[in-house]
Chains A and B, each alone.
Chain A
């Protein structure tokens, strides 16, 4: 098995989950209504927990402890897509990001549940069941607000158009695409993207929103190789503040 390819895959998935988990948690206590506050907080808890198990898997392959990996790296050592590090913005942007990201993650983990790397396949079977609830939540709220008022529709439309180039960055090809496919570890970003497009289209078609022609958009790449926006480092500093003060603290 190609360990470098597997590690690269695990890092980017774990980093996406960790960073978006922290972004989601920024809605805790300030969500627009109680159910949404709880939903974003719950999804945050799921995602951070999922990232922990992925870092744990990396640890078993010889990488550092999960806490060290999560809290001691700088922005250029993170492999998350730029999409997940963008600030939460207005609620319409957070909802659109949640919708676009979780459709991709559910499909990614469904694909990984067939992985030839058995520990990953086992974990993916578990995680995909949890992500179904994230997608269910996204679909129901996008369908409600995407058919509601002129304001809700125009806000979501604007956020959708702004978010899509970043969302396409989720599928930035890895230098190991062929190795992952050949080893049966993962079917690859191209296959994932095709399924994702079909999956989001099905929902957008049930709303008053218009999905732009994705072929005309330029994906925002870079995140997978450590190139990030100015938004990531401040987030990491905040996330790691307590850990860096006292790495041995129990809490």
Chain B
């Protein structure tokens, strides 16, 4: 039997998607911050929430456990940690493309920004115009803000930079 590696486990987890954005894997979202293989049937996964109050965290944790159990891992342990805090810069390039395809504007890079003014003029995911305004920093989920495009006259959401 081949030796179980971290890379294999990460590949297995590719099938676990964000429950609210089903085109985005948890890997690409950047919430899986550590994988440790402790034995051929013992894996520890460290996860961190996008937002501290994210209500989907327990669900995602359960899905990761189930994905590992399905592959025959008897001891699948998932812990929540803030050691590596999530920031929107942890979303992979593939994840950013998936967000856009889903109709959500991806967050601008270089997070940990002092100034949030750049939330104005976010590129519209429908028509690509930057003639947009932020309507509210709060949207249908904690990780989204609401914007309006003056060019195509559509309201759209952005995955917030954090």
Q: Which residues of A approach B to under 8 Å, CB–CB?
A: 35, 38-39, 41-43, 45-50, 52-53, 119, 122-123, 125-127, 129-130, 132-133, 136-137
Contact = CB atoms under 8 A, between A and B. Distances in A.
Given A49-B53, A133-B160, A38 B82 contact: no
Contacts of A119: 82
A122 B82 contact: yes
Contacts of A129: 85, 87, 111-112, 162
B102 interface: no
Contact of A46 (B85, B139, B142): B142
A219 to B, nearest CB: 29
Interface string B76-115: 0000001101110000000000000000000000011000
B136 A49 contact: no
Contacts of B55: 45, 49
Contacts of A126: 52, 82, 85-86
| Max count, chain A CB within 10 A of own CB: residue among B83, B86, B137 | B137
B12 interface: no
A245 B116 CA distance: 44
Contacts of A43: 138
**Among all A-B residue pairs, the 3 with the closest Cβ atoms:** A49-B53, A42-B138, A35-B136
B116 A46 contact: no
11 contacts: A35-B135, A38-B136, A38-B146, A42-B138, A52-B53, A125-B82, A126-B52, A129-B162, A130-B51, A133-B137, A137-B138
Main DSSP-derived SS at the A contact region:
helix
A46 B52 contact: yes
Interface residues of B, number: 24
Contacts of A127: 52
Contact of A137 (B111, B137, B140): B137
Nearest to A123: B82
Interface in B123-162: 135-140, 142, 145-146, 160, 162
Given A39-B138, A130-B162, A133-B137, A46 B53 contact: yes
A47 B53 contact: yes
B52 A130 contact: yes
Given A35-B146, A38-B136, A45 B53 contact: yes
A45 B142 contact: yes
Given A126-B85, A130-B162, A39 B137 contact: yes
B113 to A, nearest CB: 9
Given A39-B138, A129-B87, A49 B54 contact: yes
A58 to B, nearest CB: 15
A157 B142 CA distance: 31
Contacts of A49: 51-55
Nearest to B116: A136
Contacts of A42: 138-139, 142
Given A136-B116, A137-B136, A137-B138, A122 B52 contact: no
